Structure 1
Amino acid sequence: MFNKVEGFPKDFLWGGATASNQCEGAYNVGGKGLSTLDFVKFIEKKDRRNDIQTMDVTYDQLNQYLEDESNINFPKRRGIDFYHQYKEDIKLMAEMGFKTFRMSISWPRIFPTGMEEEPNEEGLKFYDAVFDELLANGIEPLVTMIHYEIPIELTKKYNGWESRELVDYFVKYTKTLLDRFKDKVKYWIIFNEINMMLASAYTGGGLFPEKSSRSNLEVKYQATHHQFLASALTTKYAREAAPNAKIGCMIARLETYPATCRPEDMLKAIQEDQLNVFYTDVMVRGKYPNYMTRYFEEHNIHLQTEKGDEEILACYTADYVAFSYYMTYLASSEPAKSETSGNLIGTLKNPYLELSEWNWPIDPIGLRITLNRLYDRYNVPLFIVENGLGAYDKLEDGKVHDPYRIDYLAKHITQMKEAVKDGVELLGYTTWGCIDLISAGTSEMSKRYGYIYVDQDDYGNGTLQRYKKDSFYWYKKVIASNGEDLTKE
């Protein structure tokens, strides 16, 4: 009656993850238009390790950059030149034994302003070539349709996703992707970390709250509603045009513990968690959860919807839940006394956890907890599509010794395996930044996640030569053993 699970399934998808805006570069090559992230500048700081993020751009700043961008360091424009070096990079991934590679497509590389009648053929050909190279090396593409990159012209004209107009523009874009690549790509994620909207409306929605007549919270949830519709309509088209495709939704998972065993803290933790799984509740269960009714009322949030919206959300739900996991959070009903840095938002300091160099709590058991909680909630397959350790790596004599990264990943994979034994259906694991790239939050190169070292500094200086770190050889062994051999030697 019950099948005992001993380890990862034979078809488990081991691999790594990147984003077009952090690795491609070539921002003005091949007909590509400018994106919102092409205007995120590098901010000079002596110590960035307590930064939560520096990716926001204000309306006034954007206008300043548009007027004069000379002598400004925009790191995401250069990336690590994956655009020209993808064959070399994919060869290295194949050497590690990758079963899948998570990447994203740049919307403005396909529709430069987002409003063109026809797509940019040169952009489509680039991704054709990348997918062909992956498949030739036995690597399954796992493709994110939008990883924060919104054509800047849509931000200028419509204030990004605040406008319902973006639904049609986005669906036209995603239909183009599905029509073109349906025979090459099986696994899709529509929106990367769709809950980014609350942390940074510019990053997640290409919008400026200060430009809207709505309140700060209302405009963010209105924009999110439009993204929900765009996701559901994309899923609808995929069911028709690419029936073999698997369409996933994705959030940045913020697993939250109560700061103490006080009932007030427990309630606060539940409420914080609800605001996190709200997104997946809508995209997997197909409707707005009841708990948001009170939240919207108490925060004076009134969403503009149209007839048929509820039916669209209900009929076209996700096949699997993808998520990023870097750390856990603490919730307290009392004012914060001690905060540390984190992904999207800061958190109280957990005295039971070690911190990374960037002061992010390290909690492998939290990954097992979140896997169980999400699977119990949705009972659909899960996919860990981001997890990793950002650290300072030192290149010496062509080598990088990174035992700290190996230790971090080994502990998380151990807990993944335990979750699979618990009965969780897990599709795969793609570690973040499998090759060093531009940091999403701080736009620096110094914070490195990869198995492959890229010779480039925060200012774009360097040869861009690739070097295999010690973790490269370790992860190769992990994949070859299907997660059984996690030893450092």
Structure 2
Amino acid sequence: MKKTTKFPDGFYWGGATAANQVEGAWEVGGKGISVSDVITVGTHQNPRRVSLDMSEQLYYPSHKASEHYDHYKEDIALFAEMGFKMYRFSISWVRIFPNGDEEKPNEEGLLFYDKIFEELKKYNIEPLVTISHNELPLHLAKKFNGWASRKMIDCFMKLCNVLFERYKDYVTYWIPFNEINNLSLPISGFVQGGIIADDMKTFGGGTDNAQLRFQALHHVLVAGAKAVQLGKSINPNFQFGSMTCHITLYPLTCKPEDIVLTQQEDLLRNCFCSDVQLKGEYPYFQEKYYQDNGIIIDITEEDKKLLKENLHDFYAFSYYMSVCRSSDPDADQTSGNIMGGARNPYLEESEWDWQIDPVGLRYTLNKVYDRYRVPVMITENGLGATDKFENGIIHDPYRIDYLRTHIEQMKEAINDGVELIAYTPWGCIDLVSVSTGEMKKRYGFIYVDADDNGEGTFNRYRKDSFNWYKKVIQSNGEDLN
């Protein structure tokens, strides 16, 4: 067979951000308070704190973030200079509905996004819009306990209706929920589900209520199906993506117990939500999981019909790393994105202990395409690292190497037959880390002069990776040197 070494014509090269991690301007333009706005800065060693009433003595990184709200024209011009074909970003729910239950949207918030879309159109950059990305209104979290209540669906649909009607001529690609599967883990109960545990003091902390959390996830899945239904009625050309945080799992050894453990966790962690969104029903293994754990989900016949009839169109996922699973409780452990696992002795690690596995991306692309047979987008991928800033110059060969090796494996997956249509690496401009709240954990091609406490000029500087990625896009992935 002739080997394919080229990315397809029209491939969407770009980058990705999220409103709560990049915009800042947290009290500007009528914006309300989101769940992310009450989470303090932390470190890899010290967890972020959740402070619902906010204290003047504490720093909340989303309040300033990267000040994209004030620099959006400059930032989008820099994306265009790199040659972006697509920009993935999220719309802040609380800019549109500050409390989440208003009758009418906040026009000033909509005007800000009007300007974003106009800038993107000026440079012929395709928007990929995430509707909900850790931006749940804090008011709804307090009022309904977030997505634990079915009433949240109506609030979300009101947001969708406003966005679909206003931007029907600007947007083709929508992602209703970022990394929807993260709500299957306790760590995301608050930031993604808006569920407030009585003893919640830290990011991901507090007593977990699995029954409540999985019921919340069901409501999110139903809301996603209703978004597809509504969107297609407004513009039949809309395309909707199921977006998964894919934590690729390997058995640590060929011991059968390790293999079965890995398979079971992979199904629950990586396949459950996308199975519902792309196949239209709850998979057998999830129903068995609920039975074994005494979880009873309120699923109506109308819910089942909605899920079956309103499938998503493409599969999107974040990929940063892989971890191993072992039946040996004494196996050496490593941390990672959302969750860690047994350390793979064949891989190197980043300074935040995330194992680096480019070949795992090829494996994952083949796995998900084989399972769903729909177009695939890699909507997050990148290396969080400390950059050395000297006189406006940032040399980041480690980031270039990480991205190069992953793009090489993307080529291999395309040669395998995978229909990969987009690559939007994470944090194309430096932004606040979700897990630690730090700015020093940098991902971007563009350096933002700000520290972990929001101090700095917030001036923008091109890193070496900026010019490297520009060459990659110009050559459609041919020039990776």
Tell me the residue number matched to 2:347: 353
Contact 1:196 1:203 in 2 (8 A): no
Q: Which runs of 5+ in 2 are unaligned?
A: 201-206
Tell me the residue number matched to 1:160: 146
Which amino acid in the other structure matches residue 249 of structure 1? S
CA distance in 1, matches of 2:133, 2:212: 20
Query: Alpha-carbon deviations, 1:83-111, whole Å to 9, x = none?
Result: 11100000101000000111000001000
Q: CA deviation at 1:136?
A: 0.2
What is the aligned counterpart of 2:267 among 274, 289, 296?
274
Query: Alpha-carbon deviations, 1:18-40, whole Å to 9, x = none?
Result: 00000100110011100000000
Tell me the residue number matched to 1:482: 476
Tell me the residue number matched to 2:304: 310
CA distance in 1, matches of 2:161, 2:330: 46
Is 2:324 the partner of 1:338?
Answer: no
Query: Alpha-carbon deviations, 1:357-404, whole Å to 9, x = none?
Result: 111000000000000000000000110000000000011121000000
Tell me the residue number matched to 1:208: 196
Query: Alpha-carbon deviations, 1:267-287, whole Å to 9, x = none?
Result: 011001101210100010000
CA distance in 2, matches of 1:281, 1:55: 32
Tell me the residue number matched to 2:74: 88
Q: TM-score, normalised by structure 2?
A: 0.96
Tell me the residue number matched to 1:107: 93
Q: Which runs of 5+ in 1 are unaligned?
A: none
Contact 1:56 1:202 in 2 (8 A): no
Tell me the residue number matched to 2:203: none
CA distance in 1, matches of 2:364, 2:219: 27
Contact 1:102 1:144 in 2 (8 A): yes
Q: CA deviation at 1:56?
A: 6.6
Query: For residues 236-251 of structure 1, what are the structure 2 equivalents within 5 Å?
Result: 236-251=229-244
Is 2:3 the partner of 1:17?
Answer: no
Q: CA deviation at 1:208?
A: 2.2
What is the aligned counterpart of 1:446 among 440, 447, 460?
440
Contact 2:22 2:65 in 1 (8 A): yes
2:408 counterpart SS class: helix
2:324 counterpart SS class: strand
Tell me the residue number matched to 1:404: 398
Query: Alpha-carbon deviations, 1:268-319, whole Å to 9, x = none?
Result: 1100110121010001000000111211111110011223110100000110
Q: CA deviation at 1:244?
A: 1.1
Question: Residues 215, 485 of structure 1: CA spacing in aligned structure 2 closer, same or farther, 3 A cutoff?
Answer: closer
What is the aligned counterpart of 2:214 among 204, 217, 221?
221
CA distance in 1, matches of 2:421, 2:58: 42
1:169 counterpart SS class: helix
Contact 1:210 1:216 in 2 (8 A): no
Contact 1:340 1:347 in 2 (8 A): yes
Tell me the residue number matched to 1:36: 35
Question: Residues 134, 385 of structure 1: CA spacing in aligned structure 2 closer, same or farther, 3 A cutoff?
Answer: same
CA distance in 1, matches of 2:18, 2:33: 16
2:410 counterpart SS class: helix
CA distance in 2, matches of 1:383, 1:266: 28
Contact 2:41 2:49 in 1 (8 A): no
Query: For residues 58-77 of structure 1, what are the structure 2 equivalents within 5 Å?
Result: 61-62=51-52, 66=53, 69-77=55-63
Q: TM-score, normalised by structure 1?
A: 0.94
CA distance in 2, matches of 1:207, 1:336: 33
